[in-house]
């Protein structure tokens, strides 16, 4: 019965997302023509997330290690344990952002729109696709758009989820562009919504997010990318273990 209720809640939540996206679509269609579309489309996305999550009893709480200068541009890296991670980061991040994600998200009714307008898709099996995606990400950063990348590149299948090794692409990007890395730890989104292909369900609850202090990269070279990757991994892993 508990699993049935969780699946009903998931369907209710997803229905709300689709409903509010549909209602906002005419506005989104107009905004995508604007030069400042990142700011406006992200604003509408936050609005959709707020409405659909709140009605389902899902809320997001952020704790900051230090005050973040949202006027700066970052490569934002977090662990990935739930589909709610994207909603959580959309809610707490205050600057213009775009996400990098797998190209399969293009087929989703809601996420497909955002990946066709402001977000970046990548085929993880194609080196050329990865090259193009990171080139696009570099262009976005030059234009003051922070890029959100989940360096695990997947949601872990083990329950409870364990932190997977990080890819080094985001860290090379940050060093090349001389922008800070902003590490973020998603502490318990998986407890609110979990999907491993077998078990699916969600419940009302609060998703706790911890935003670490930025790590400067201006003094680093590409030879330091692996060390930077390991540093961010250890920061997030330590926070998860202490939670």
Please provide the DSSP assignment of the chain as one string.
-HHHHHHHHHHHHHHHHHHHHHHHHHHHHHHTTSTTHHHHHHHHHHHHHHHHHHHTTEEEEEEESS---TTS--EEEE---STHHHHHHHHH--S-EEEEEEGGGGGSTTHHHHHHHTSEEE-TT-HHHHHHHHHHHHHHHHTT-EEEE-TT-S---SSS--PPPPPSHHHHHHHHHT--EEEEEE-SHHHHEEESSS-EEE-SEEEEEEEPPPB--TT--GGGHHHHHHHHHHHHHHHHHH-
pLDDT at 50: 97
Indicate if the pLDDT at residue 4 is higher than 90: no
Separation CA 219–CA 216 (nearest Å): 8
pLDDT at 94: 93
Share of the chain above pLDDT 70, in %: 97
Indicate if the pLDDT at residue 182 is higher than 90: yes
Q: Both tokens of residue 243?
A: 């939670």
pTM: 0.93
Indicate if the pLDDT at residue 66 is higher than 80: yes
Q: Both tokens of residue 233?
A: 């991994």
Separation CA 172–CA 180 (nearest Å): 11
Name the pLDDT band for 70 (thresholds 50, 70, 90): very high
pLDDT at 35: 57
Name the pLDDT band for 154 (thresholds 50, 70, 90): confident
Stated as kind and residue range, the H or E segment containing 132 is: helix 127-142
Indicate if the pLDDT at residue 201 is higher than 90: no
Name the pLDDT band for 1 (thresholds 50, 70, 90): confident
Please return the burial class of 65, using the count of CB atoms within 10 Å of its CB with bins 0-12, 13-18 and 19+.
middle
- Between residues 155 and 137, the one the model is more confident about: 137
pLDDT at 153: 82
Name the pLDDT band for 221 (thresholds 50, 70, 90): very high
What CATH architecture applies to the domain 59-242? 3-Layer(aba) Sandwich (3.40)
Q: What is the mean pLDDT of residues 62-74?
A: 97
**61 near 52, Cβ under 8 Å?**
no
Q: What is the mean pLDDT of residues 145-169?
A: 89
Name the pLDDT band for 139 (thresholds 50, 70, 90): very high
Indicate if the pLDDT at residue 132 is higher than 80: yes
Q: What is the mean pLDDT of residues 53-67?
A: 97
């Amino acid at each position: 019965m508990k699993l049935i209720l969780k699946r009903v809640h998931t369907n209710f939540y997803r229905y709300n997302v689709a409903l509010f996206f549909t209602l906002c679509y005419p506005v989104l269609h107009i905004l995508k023509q604007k030069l400042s579309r990142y700011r406006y489309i992200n604003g509408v996305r936050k609005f959709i997330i707020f409405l659909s999550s709140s009605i389902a009893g899902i809320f997001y709480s952020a704790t900051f290690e230090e005050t973040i200068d949202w006027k700066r541009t970052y490569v934002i890296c977090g662990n990935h344990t739930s589909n709610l991670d994207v909603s959580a980061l959309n809610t707490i991040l205050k600057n213009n952002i775009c996400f990098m994600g797998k190209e399969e998200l293009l087929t989703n009714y809601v996420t497909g729109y955002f990946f066709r307008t402001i977000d970046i898709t990548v085929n993880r099996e194609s080196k050329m696709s990865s090259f193009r995606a990171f080139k696009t990400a570099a262009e976005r950063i030059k234009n003051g758009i922070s890029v959100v990348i989940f360096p695990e590149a997947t949601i872990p299948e083990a329950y409870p989820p364990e932190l997977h090794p990080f890819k080094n692409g985001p860290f090379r990007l940050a060093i090349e562009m001389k922008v800070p890395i902003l590490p973020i730890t998603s502490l318990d989104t998986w407890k609110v919504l979990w999907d491993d292909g077998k078990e699916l369900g969600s419940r009302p609850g609060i998703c706790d997010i911890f935003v670490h202090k930025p790590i400067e990269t201006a003094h680093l070279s590409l030879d330091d990318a692996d060390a930077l990757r390991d540093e961010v991994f250890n920061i997030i892993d330590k926070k998860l273990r202490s939670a």
